[in-house]
Amino acid sequence: MADTQDKQAEGVSVVGKGDSQAILVINTKAAPEKPSIICLYATADTTGVKTPYYLWVDTNGKLRIHTAVPTNQDSDGAIVGDQAA
């Protein structure tokens, strides 16, 4: 599939050049005892309502997802995919 995203559009941040591996590191600074968190928004096609989805890795190395910022990194949210709890 061709990449048709406008790289100059507002809100677009490009990591890497596309011709080599890029690694994005998100360090935890504000709360060093908590995991780094990525927030992605889903937007409803018909209403435009945005729902946040937070992703993080728990202390057991499992990727988790939740619609709120986790208060307990090991029990909040759901484990993503076919990972054993």
Burial class (CB in 10 A: 0-12, 13-18, 19+), 30: exposed
Quick one: pLDDT at residue 54?
92
**Residue-wise burial string across 60-71, b where 16 or more C-beta atoms lie within 10 A, e elsewhere:** eebebbbeeebe
Number of structural domains found in the chain: 1
In a domain, 68, yes or no: yes
In a domain, 53, yes or no: yes
In a domain, 70, yes or no: yes
Distance, CA of 51 to CA of 30 (rounded, Å): 24
In a domain, 24, yes or no: no
Give average pLDDT by consecutive 10-residue segment, the chain, 85 residues: 60 70 72 82 92 93 94 94 72
In a domain, 73, yes or no: yes
Quick one: pLDDT at residue 1?
44
In a domain, 21, yes or no: no
Quick one: pLDDT at residue 30?
65
In a domain, 30, yes or no: no
In a domain, 65, yes or no: yes
